[in-house]
Amino acid sequence: NLQESESENKLDAETASDSESRSEFGGSAPVPTSDDTPEVLNRALSNLSSRWKNWWVRGILTLAMITFFFIIIYLGPMVLMTIVMCVQIKCFHEIITIGYNVYHSYDLPWFRTLSWYFLLCVNYFFYGETVTDYFFTLVQREEPLRILSKYHRFISFTLYLTGFCMFVLSLVKKHYRLQFYMFGWTHVTLLIVVTQSHLIIHNLFEGMIWFIVPISCVICNDIMAYMFGFFFGRTPLIKLSPKKTWEGFIGGFFATVLFGLLLSYVMSGYRCFTCPVEFNNDTNSFTVDCEPSELFQLQEYNIPLVLQSVVGWKTVQMYPFQIHSIALSTFASLIGPFGGFFASGFKRAFKIKDFANTIPGHGGIMDRFDCQYLMATFVNVYIASFIRGPNPSKLIQQFLTLRPDQQLHIFNTLKAHLVDKGMLGSLEDA
Amino acid sequence: EVYLEERLHELDLRSDSDVPDVPPPTDSTPEILKRALSGLSARWKNWWIRGILTLAMISVFFLIIYLGSFMLMLLVLSIQVKCYHEIITIGYRVYHSYDLPWFRSLSWYFLLCVNYFFYGETVADYFATFVQRREQLQFLIRYHRFISFALYLTGFCMFVLSLVKKHYRLQFYMFAWTHVTLLITVTQSHLVIQNLFEGMIWFLVPISSVICNDITAYIFGFFFGRTPLIKLSPKKTWEGFIGGFFSTVVFGFIFSYFLAQHQYFVCPVEYNSETNRFVTECEPSELFQMKKYSVPPLLQAVLGWETVNMYPFQMHSIALSTFASLIGPFGGFFASGFKRAFKIKDFADTIPGHGGIMDRFDCQYLMATFVHVYITSFIRGPNPSKLLKQLLILQPEQQLSVYKTLKSHLVEKGILQPSLRG
């Protein structure tokens, strides 16, 4: 018994530092991922050397994904939302599977069911909040929806609690630590995956341009940084990802800002991208039709003197949104990569090469989306802070649920405020 | 090399075996108590220490209530910080990671960020008039989410930059441990404060119900306990559970009756910018006005009354005490499972005879969230002051159109007379 506890103490001490024998993940040969490149591609590329073959496979798949992206955009908001949902579920599945593999806990009692149940609960909560906001009139009309919406938080909480109690009841004597690990793992995964996907959907409802430009900037930065690194790369950027270089980083930054400016210019001209997505009660479908806001109306800007000599123009016609796109692309290029480094660190920590084998040549869905983590949150916070304030119709809805005395108090305060600002005369208007 | 790695990996996953307990915590009982109780046997001594400390804690509780809302907020904040510290320290011990580069600073930094975010979102709403007057605060409020996000991002980037070659896994474990701890402790404490602002009764009754359930379940178990309740906590019994349930409901019912009579407990806490103090003065809402209820015929025979005068709040208190007795204990089981999983006896040694602060608050976890969800679902809609704040941020044209909509709605409902100027 003493020996056992000694060896366990030794184990604990050794988990403190990854053992000496473990080197960069490239050193200890990971199990090669099974080759699921389609037969077609295999035959077409059978003549090339394996290095070029890999490059071609990656290239073709990249083009395939980008084409797919354009198709879904064409198909509209509903399809986009569904795709976001699917990506979210796949990412969740990938990360949870890694957890199972790390802890060999695939057979833990109840645990698979509980993980999916928690995913369902959290999604129910977030979708309920979103649906209530954007589909307000529809919800108010249908009786069951109205009740679900009114007591939404209570229902969500009850569902979550049920999962929590099931977890407690499922604790099994010899597996406590593992079960708590998986519980923690599930919650952190939910925090990362589900919140991001819902913020993306919020951004989407603000206008498809707020969805497309950020995601494209991250993809562009990925590709540009790779190319600049390929041709000019010399100085390593960070020990975590030995393939990244400063040249790639900086080149990618400038290329992405430029790309963002151009893409925004092209997109700002179309209503289907710039208008908030709304649900039309009469046609029961999504519409994107509106009077474009100031952000999407061409304005004349004076070029700062410094650039005048370079560019040769005195003024330039731009959309205000393009200025915002600079902020978005800057974030995508400077901070987005940290999401990628985080994922690299994660893969090294748990000694995996890729999150999964879903996309040939690229790895799992998470591998493609790791830089997008922070982008969605940033865009959402950016919109809420700098673009628009709170949504007036939502405020009116909230107002209608208050008690009469509260309503009166708010009304009078608002009135006094407007009178103060001179927007309202002392006499009442109709 | 591979063999060593696999063995380590295996041991990491090995199911909990019967490993000897962590050595008993150092005895932090004050000298005075020790001398006073030196005559008694060890078992009774332990019982007396627990009893005295229980009374001490309850007295501190009453004292703080007397001192008012601001002190209560400070108390909640201190407890939150201490709980966070306790859980993080356990993480360090489990992973022997006390010397990880940067990690202690990062954990405290994240705590600061999340607290900053929550205090800005919730508490700032209540100080709207105070904030309106000061320019710098207005800036902080307007861009609050952006600032909080930037602060959090800085921490995130520092974490990524601090990843050290041989310690990746540990660092990720501690990162996740920190975040889950934040999720548990910080959100709960902010919900407690929001409940407090709704009216001190919404803070006192739930917490007292949980404490009462703890004590009465223990007493019922002590005297009548026979059937074990759950393998996780062998000391709990069904008799204790059921007895505790009924006593807590009765206690909650009676306690609410007394509290509902005083404005001090019943009124929402408001900040008076003129006197720079918190005030609890208002016209008590319907919940706290006596009403006549007809006793259902079943109970009429038992009690002998036909109607009874009660506060509507007392009905709600039944819901609160029921939750405290039935679901609250799951929080306790969760904590017990946690302690067994990581082979610790108590969260810390802060309170002699009781363990750490977390040991006292483990059943309160879910209560605060439940009360908050209950209030927003059944008692009132969204927070009026938050709504007002958002209205004042709108563009002037939007404000005007909202004003007109509101006005027509109020006139329709007869709340506002169209002919008056008021």
pLDDT tens-digit readout, B303-352: 777 778 888 888 899 999 999 999 888 888 888 888 888 887 777 766 66
Closest Cβ–Cβ partner in B160, B374, B398 for A338: B160
Proportion of chain A above pLDDT 70, given as a percent = 78
Distance from the Cα of B309 to chain A's closest Cα (Å) equals 25
Is the per-residue pLDDT at B26 higher than 50? no
Number of domains, chain A? 1
User: Binning pLDDT at 50, 70 and 90, where does residue A149 land?
Assistant: confident
The answer to whether residue A216 is domain-embedded is yes
Give me the mean pLDDT over the B111-140 stretch. 77
Q: What number is the average pLDDT over the span A55-70? A: 79
Report how far residue B7's alpha carbon sits from residue B1's, in angstroms, rounded to the nearest whole number. Answer: 10
Q: Enumerate long-range contacts of B391-397, CB under 8 Å, 24 or more apart.
A: B391/A395, B391/A410, B391/A414, B392/A414, B392/A417, B393/A389, B393/A390, B393/B142, B394/A389, B394/A390, B394/A392, B394/A395, B395/A389, B396/A418, B396/A421, B396/A423
B291 vs B277, more confident? B291
Please tell me which of A69-83, A197-211, A378-392, B345-359 the model is most confident about, judged by mean pLDDT. Answer: A197-211
The rounded radius of gyration (Å) of the Cα atoms in chain B is 26
B369, two tokens: 């969230």
How far B314 CA lies from chain A's nearest CA (Å)? 20
Which two three-digit tokens encode residue A140? 């108010």
- Nearest chain A residue to B371 by CA distance is A154
Across the range B217-232, mean pLDDT stands at 85
A388 touches chain B (CB under 8 A): no
**Do A338 and B156 count as a contact with CB atoms less than 8 A apart?**
yes
pLDDT higher at B377 or B136: B377
User: Distances from the Cα of A221 to the Cαs of A63, A217, A252, in angstroms?
Assistant: 15, 6, 5
Model confidence pLDDT, tens digit, residues A317-346: 888 899 899 999 999 999 888 888 888 888
A349 touches A336 (CB < 8 A): no
The larger pLDDT score, comparing residue B386 to residue A174, is at A174
Supply the pLDDT for residue A258.
94
Listed by number, the residues of chain B in 13-32 with a beta carbon closer than 8 Å to a beta carbon of chain A are: 13, 15-17, 19-20
Confidence of residue B130 (pLDDT cuts 50, 70, 90): low
Nearest to B97 among A16, A154, A377 (CB): A16
Which pLDDT value is given to residue B101?
64
Beta carbons of B95 and A16 less than 8 Å apart:
yes
Partners of A286 in beta bridges: A279
Residue A21 located in a structural domain: no
Instruction: Establish if A88 belongs to a structural domain.
Output: yes
Q: B55 — contact with chain A (CB < 8 Å)?
A: no
Is the pLDDT at A28 greater than 70? The verdict is: no
Q: What pLDDT, in 10s, does the model give residues A239-294?
A: 777 888 898 899 999 999 999 999 999 888 888 888 888 777 667 677 777 777 77
Model confidence pLDDT, tens digit, residues A292-319 = 777 888 888 777 777 777 777 777 888 8
Q: Which pTM value belongs to this model?
A: 0.79
Rounded (10°) CA dihedral A355, A358, A363, A365: -70
Please name the residue of chain A whose CA is at the shortest distance from the CA of residue B340.
Answer: A176
* Structural domain contains residue A418: no
If residue A92 lies in a helix (H) or strand (E), which one and from where to where? helix A77-103
Residues 88-127 of A with CB under 8 A from B: 103-105
Smallest Cβ–Cβ distance between A173 and the set B231, B369, B407 belongs to: B231
Q: What is the rounded distance in angstroms from the CA atom of residue A189 to the CA atom of residue A123?
A: 13
Q: Which of residues 219-248 of A touch B (CB under 8 A)?
A: 238-240
Question: Within an 8 Å CB–CB cutoff, is residue A314 touching chain B?
Answer: no
Q: Which residue has the tokens 């990362």?
A: A192
The domain of A317 spans 48-108+172-386
* 3-state secondary structure (DSSP) of residue A328: helix
Q: Report which of residues B381 and A154 the model is more confident about.
A: A154
Quote the mean pLDDT of chain B: 78
Cβ within 8 Å, pair A342-B160 = yes
Chain B: residue nearest A18 by CA? B166
Residue A411 lies in a domain: no
Which of A4-18, A28-42, B249-263 has the largest mean confidence? B249-263
Residue A241 phi/psi, 5° resolution? -120, 95
Percent of chain B topping pLDDT 70 = 77
Q: What angle do CA A204, A206, A207 make, to 5 degrees?
A: 70
A404 versus A80: the higher-pLDDT residue is A80
Q: Is A27 within a domain?
A: no
Sorted by sequence, the CB contacts under 8 Å of residue A142 that are 6+ apart come out as none
Paired tokens of B261:
């009579």
Q: What is the mean pLDDT of residues B101-106?
A: 79
pLDDT, position A48: 59
Instruction: Identify whether A143 is part of a domain.
Output: no
Record: contact A15-B145, CB cut-off 8 A: no
Flag whether A403 is in a domain.
Answer: no
Residue A31 binned pLDDT confidence (cut-offs 50, 70, 90): very low
Q: Do B17 and A184 make contact, defined as CB atoms within 8 angstroms?
A: no
pLDDT of residue A54: 72
| Token code pair at residue A35 | 């080759």
Helices (H), B128-283: 128-132, 135-142, 144-161, 168-198, 201-224, 238-259, 263-266
A424 touches chain B (CB under 8 A): yes
